Amino acid sequence: MEKTIPKHLMFSSGLLVIVIHTLQIGIGVTSFSRFVFRYAKQDAWISVLLAGLVAHVVVFIIVQTLKRFQGKGLFEIHIDLFGKWVGNILNFVYILYLFGYGVTYITNYYSFVGEYLMQDIPIWFISTIMIILTIYAVKGGIRVVIGISLTTFLLTFWLFL
């Protein structure tokens, strides 16, 4: 049984490249080199190469898993592979991971904005704005996420120059 994707949910591969770029660059690009150098010192290039290698292996495993379970989402794949109980526990752990990632993202964003732009803004204000933007993106669907990614990409494109 093959599912067809509705036209309003489709987008071009060029926009997918921009979404992937935005996910990888994000707020982490402002502090990534500082954290890597703090712990690895002059051997930081080794950790960057290892991280790239691990990322490629993980993407390969993800692609192979998605080929095997065509048309299913991550939660369904967990339940199919590990059973009802363990699969649901893994799904819960994944939700906790995403929540923790969101908190970390907001904290990093706040430290960046507070350090470089506006020192007097409280963290609850930045957090509230970020949560409202996230709710807007989730409610708006994939097109809104792609639009935000494209806008972010265009606004940060000058960094390459």
Please say if the pLDDT value at position 69 is more than 60.
yes
* Least confidently predicted of 42-46, 110-114, 121-125: 110-114
Dist. CA 102–CA 130, nearest whole Å: 10
Half-sphere exposure of residue 122: CA atoms within 13 angstroms, side-chain side: 3
Give Cα separations from 123 to 92, 93, 108, 130, 132 (angstroms).
27, 26, 11, 11, 14
- The CB density around residue 110, as the number of other CB atoms within 10 Å, is 19
Please say if the pLDDT value at position 86 is more than 90.
yes
* Least confidently predicted of 32-36, 61-65, 127-131: 32-36
User: Tokens 């770029």 correspond to what residue?
Assistant: 21
User: Given this model, what pLDDT does residue 138 score?
Assistant: 82
Q: Which residues contact 17 (CB under 8 A, 6 or more apart)?
A: none
Please say if the pLDDT value at position 1 is more than 60.
no
Residue 110: pLDDT band (50, 70, 90) is confident
